Amino acid sequence: MVYPWDFYYGRIEARIRIGSGSGVVTAMLLLGPAPSDEIDFEWVGKDTTHVQTMYYVQSHRVDNLPEVFGAAQNNGDLSTTFQDYAIELNKDSVKWYLNGILLRTLDKGAQEFPSDASRARMGIWDGTQTSGWAGTVDWSQGPFTAEMQWFNFTPYC
């Protein structure tokens, strides 16, 4: 899914059931024009009890390791249940939410800041070529799917 309009500030929200399996990566993200700024949620299908948050500035990953949040204590296997996720982009901060609970805040003054992540996307992709981070897809176990029950976009400007 690619949201067809650019925006500067706002909030994207979706109710998602992630894909499972080694090498399978589900993502909800904001992406700008090349060289891309990116703000994302990613779920690695070989670990269906955690969600990762990352960001890039001009195609350069700023945080060397993703921020990983365990969801098992409240939500169990994220590939069998739908959860609500949100990314909020403001002029001076980015916030990531799971079921209305703030997971992470990135303040503009802290480091490099993704100020041109302007288009919302959601999808599932093959992470086999990610140096082992996502695992290797076994295509005989497919098809691999993720589902989105709804998507909401609230522009702030």
Catalytically annotated residues: 38, 42
Distance of alpha carbon 24 from alpha carbon 13, whole angstroms:
22
Distance of alpha carbon 59 from alpha carbon 44, whole angstroms:
20
Phi, psi of 111 (to 5 degrees): -150, -160
CB 106 within 8 A of CB 57: no
- Residue by residue, DSSP assigns 44-82 as ETT-TTEEEEEEEETTEESSSS-EEEE-HHHH--TTTS-
Distance of alpha carbon 41 from alpha carbon 59, whole angstroms:
16
Residue with tokens 């500030």: 9
Q: Give the pair of three-digit tokens for residue 74.
A: 């409240």
